[in-house]
Amino acid sequence: MIQNKIQLVVFLGILSKASCDLDRIVLIGEPKTWTEAQSYCREKYTDLAMVQSDEDRAKLKEAANTVNFQSVAWIGFYRDTWRWSYQNTPISYVKWDLSQPDIPDTNEACGVVNKKGLWSDRNCTVQDYFFCQTDTQDTLQDKFLQVELSMNWHDAQIHCRTQYADLAAITDDTENTFLTNILSVKGQNDAWFGLYKIPLLWSDNSSVSLSSVKWGSGQPDNVNGNEDCVKISTEGLMADDSCSTPLPFYCRENTACEIHSQIRRRSGRICSDGGHREEDEGDPLGSGHGNHIQHKMERPT
Ligand SMILES: [Ca+2]
Ligand SMILES: [Ca+2]
């Protein structure tokens, strides 16, 4: 009896270690919008497929060849929207300056407000003064303040989160004018505030190494600013397209790793090979946004 138990534990141990290396790609032929495809994959498999290596591209090609598929299909790759650092919410009110934002869609960008009250995107590493906000909603004087320390956007974010609530989110004309007036009075041109964009993410919100993916010729071109989801050819070349376009799609299946995770949860052991995909794999900004898992579920097409 004891020997049987030992054998079982050894068997599970081998299974959990070996199986976490398995990651299958499955082609679903029925066309769906990107969001529908994401829901389907999460329900039936693990998530939409990630394709970021020659090995992944080979698996994808094999999945397509199995059913003689030669067209394009969705993978789990999408362009994120502009967000507020504060509570990680998508923006609804905007005051972009002429020809802004203009940083390429594949690059991270951070938001700056100028003394005319107009917004621009800018490389996040530039040093500038910045606006923080508190959680107080009573008066604008209580809510917003400017910090006259030159920092890059990420350091400014840490400063605001440590000392106050976060970098300032501007949600209407009154707030925009209030902050603009501070710049005017002080004779400053501009300052960081809490606007940022992570350009491209995998469906599970892990960040993308752009050198690991292959784009088709002229892609991504974001036609009409409306191509926030990514499809792939059987050769592994990617293109952005409108998320509402119904297309076949590739799911990834990590069944064995889920068994591993169950074992891990029961035993309280750590998954040493990092193969499981059930949990939030981290905030690409390194800023601890608790809502990342939430927003991917709610993402509109
Ligand atoms: Ca810009
Ligand atoms: Ca395109």
Q: Which residue has the tokens 């049987």?
A: 4
CA torsion sign for 253, 219, 57, 285 is: negative
Is 4 contained in some domain? no
Is 60 contained in some domain? yes
209 CA distance to ligand 1 middle (Å)? 23
Tokens of residue 6, six digits: 């030992």
The pTM of the whole model exceeds 0.75: no
Is 11 contained in some domain? no
**What contacts 275, CB < 8 A, 6 or more positions away?**
20, 21, 23, 254, 257, 260
Query: Do residues 74 and 209 both lie within one domain?
Result: yes
Is 164 contained in some domain? yes
Number of domains into which the chain is organized: 2
Query: Do residues 51 and 187 both lie within one domain?
Result: no
Q: Which ligand is nearest to the CA of 114?
A: 1
Contacts 24+ apart (CB under 8 A), 282-291: 282/206, 282/207, 283/205, 284/198, 284/201, 284/205, 284/206, 284/207, 285/154, 285/157, 285/196, 285/198, 286/154, 287/85, 287/154, 287/157, 287/158, 287/161, 289/88, 290/88, 291/87, 291/88, 291/89
Query: Do residues 46 and 148 both lie within one domain?
Result: no
Query: Do residues 101 and 243 both lie within one domain?
Result: no
CB atoms within 10 A of CB 263: 16
Query: Which chain residues have CB less than 5 Å from ligand 1, an ion?
Result: 102, 120-121
Q: Which ligand is nearest to the CA of 96?
A: 1
109 CA distance to ligand 1 middle (Å)? 8
Query: Do residues 95 and 243 both lie within one domain?
Result: no
- SS3 (DSSP) at 274: coil
Is 5 contained in some domain? no
Query: Do residues 259 and 275 both lie within one domain?
Result: yes
In the chain, the amino acid numbered 27 is L
Check: CB of residue 183 under 8 Å from CB of residue 147: no
> For residue range 133-165, what is the model confidence (pLDDT) as tens digits?
999 878 999 999 999 999 999 999 999 999 999
- Per DSSP, the residues of 88-105 read GPBP----BPTT---S-T
Q: 54: domain range? A: 16-79+204-298
Over its length of 301 residues, how does the chain's per-residue pLDDT go in tens digits?
A: 555 554 544 444 444 444 445 789 999 999 999 999 999 999 999 999 999 999 999 999 999 999 999 999 999 999 888 999 999 999 999 999 999 999 887 788 999 999 999 999 999 999 999 999 999 878 999 999 999 999 999 999 999 999 999 999 999 999 999 999 999 999 999 999 999 998 888 999 888 888 889 999 999 998 988 899 999 999 999 999 999 999 999 999 986 655 545 544 444 333 333 333 333 333 333 333 333 333 333 343 3
Q: Which ligand is nearest to the CA of 123?
A: 1
Tokens of residue 253, six digits: 């299946």
56 CA distance to ligand 1 middle (Å)? 35
131 CA distance to ligand 1 middle (Å)? 18
Check: CB of residue 40 under 8 Å from CB of residue 199: no
CA torsion sign for 202, 126, 132, 154 is: positive
Give the whole-angstrom CA distance, residue 56 versus residue 250. Answer: 11
Tokens of residue 14, six digits: 């081998």
Query: Do residues 256 and 230 both lie within one domain?
Result: yes
Boundary (domain end) residue, out of 163, 197, 231: 197
Is 193 contained in some domain? yes
Q: Which ligand is nearest to the CA of 126?
A: 1
Query: Do residues 219 and 269 both lie within one domain?
Result: yes
Query: Do residues 97 and 24 both lie within one domain?
Result: no
Q: Residue 55: which CATH number?
A: 3.10.100.10
